[in-house]
Structure 1
Amino acid sequence: MAGDNERIKRTLDLLGIGLYPIIEEEMKAVYKDDWIDRAKESFRNSTLTSQPEGDAIRWDAHSTLLILWDHWNSVFRNRLSPLERSFVGELREYRNRWAHQSKISTDDTLRILDTASRLLQATGATQEARQLQRERDQLLHQIMQYQEQIVVDSDDHRRQRMRDAVVFLICGIAIDLGIFFSYGTGGLAILFAVFVAAVFAFLAYQRWVTPDRPAYGAHECTNCGKIIYGENCPYCNEDPQPTQGV
């Protein structure tokens, strides 16, 4: 799906930003003033790094994920669970695929967004996690729209709409014939028959041109967790309007 590569790039950027604070905090707690040198040791055996010379570290997704993985037992295991360690390993694999320009499917992109948001949430980077959750929900919505459009454009769906439209027309004609046989061809009978014909013609037209859309029952919003009854959550407003004073 178009835009997947941009989504992955944004995800990696947010991982680098969101994971740095926990790395700095936990590495300093264990290694004190030597934490930068100990962090740089992780890059010696890595063939997928482009770190600058000297003391500086490029705090991108590759660096942060590598340090988390390499110093897990000595630093991070007391702060994060084995589940989060599996998230780190999974994201490292996807990051390496992306760096080598390997094809990443839309399903994989959805998984990357979800895994990255869970890892960031666990490390306390809630702002970055919420951004990725919104990205995930937007992508999921696009996937649902795409799948829905496939159904709407299918030959079976078109035939079903045509059959329903024909049924409406036949019903209208049958009722008009009943009106004429029962009440003759007087003025009121003709007026009533025209009204019935117009109603059923409108119903047939609407059925033909308007495809079926999914009905949304009560379900939990994937972002805020509240129960909603439509496609869009009224509680999740990215740009809330300021409350007017009374």
Structure 2
Amino acid sequence: MAGDNERIKLTLELLGTGLYPIIEQEMKAIYQDDWIDRAKESFRNSPLTSQPEGDAIRWDAHSTLLILWDHWNSVFRNRLTPLERSYVGELREFRNRWAHQSQISTDDTLRILDTAARLLSAAGSAQEARQLQRERDQLLHQILQYQEQIVIDSDDQRRERMRDAIIFLVCAVAIDLVIFFSYGTGGLAILFALFVAGVFAFLAYQRWVTPDRPTYGAHECTNCGKIIYGEACPYCNEDLPV
């Protein structure tokens, strides 16, 4: 789906900026002034390092995720849970796949957005987490629209709409015949028959060109968490993205 690559790039950028504060805070608490040197040890131990020894650390997704993973037991285990550690491992795998231009599906992109948002939220980077949550909701809405369109364009749906449109037209003809047999072909009868034919023709046209749309039961708003009954949340006053 178009835009997946841009969403992954945005996710990696936000991971770099969003995870740096927790890394600096926790590494300083343990290693004091030596925390930068201890952080660089992670790159020397990594076969995938892109950080030349002696250079300043580039705080991108690769750096932050690698340091979180490598110093977990000594630094971050008391701040984050084992669940968040699994998020770090998952995002490292996706980041490496993306960096090597491996194919990443739309379903994977949706998972990356959700996992990154959860990790950033746990790390205290609320702004970056909310941005990724919005991207996740937009992508999910696009996926649902695409799946809905497949159903609408299916042969079964087309046949059902055609059947209903034909039923409307047959009803119009039947009622007009009753009008003419009952009241003759006077002016009022003709006007009434034309009115009935017009109404049913409009209904047939609407049924043919306007497919059924899904109805929304009670569900939780992905933004505020409140229970809503429609596509748009009245509490957030935000329409779902198109």
> Where do 1:153-232 residues align within 5 Å?
153-232=153-232
- Per the TM alignment, residue 9 of structure 1 is displaced from its structure 2 partner at its CA by 0.6
Secondary structure of 1:224's counterpart equals coil
| Aligned-residue offset at 1:55 | 4.9
Q: Residue 68 of structure 1: CA displacement?
A: 0.4
- What letter matches 2:233 in structure 1? C
For residues 152-211 of structure 1, give each alpha carbon's deviation from its aligned partner in whole angstroms, at most 9, with x where no partner exists: 111211111111100000011111111112222222211111110000000001111111
| Deviation (angstroms), 1:54 | 2.2
Letter of the 1:153 counterpart: D
In the alignment, residue 117 of structure 2 is paired with which amino acid?
S
Structure 1: runs of 5 or more not aligned? 239-246
Shift of 1:12: 0.4
Q: 1:5-62: per-residue Cα shift (whole Å, max 9, x none)?
A: 1100100000000000000000000000100000000001212222244251000001
Q: How does 1:1-20 map to 2 (within 5 A)?
A: 1-20=1-20
Does the residue aligned with 1:12 lie in a helix, a strand or coil?
helix
Q: In the alignment, what sits opposite 2:91?
A: 91
- Separation in 2 of the partners of 1:105 and 1:236? 30
Aligned-pair Cα RMSD in Å? 1.4
Asked if 1:102 corresponds to 2:102, the answer is: yes
Q: Is the 8 A contact 1:176 1:196 kept in 2?
A: yes
What TM-score results when the alignment is normalised by the length of structure 1? 0.94
CA distance in 2, matches of 1:130, 1:46: 31
| Whole-Å separation in 2 of the counterparts to 1:52 and 1:228 | 52
Aligned to 1:242: none
Q: Distance in 1 between matches of 2:98 and 2:55?
A: 27
When structure 1 is superposed on structure 2, of 188-197 and 134-143 the one drifting more is 188-197
Q: Which amino acid aligns with 1:175?
A: I
CA contact (8 A) 1:14 1:128 kept: yes
Distance 2:127 2:234 in 1: 20
Paired amino acid for 1:5: N
- 2:175 maps to a residue whose letter is I
Offset of residue 237 of structure 1: 5.4
What is the total number of aligned residue pairs between the two structures?
A: 239
Cα displacement string for residues 65-98 of structure 1 (whole angstroms, at most 9, x for unaligned residues): 0000000000000000000000000000000000
Matched residue type, 1:185? T
1:36–1:55 CA contact under 8 A, matched in 2: no
Offset at residue 236 of structure 1 (A)? 3.3
Amino acid at match of 1:230: G
Partner of 2:24: 24
Are the equivalent residues in 2 in contact too, given 1:52–1:58 (CA < 8 A)?
no
Unaligned runs of 5+ in 2: none
* Aligned equivalent of 1:127: 127
Percent identity, aligned pairs only, is 87
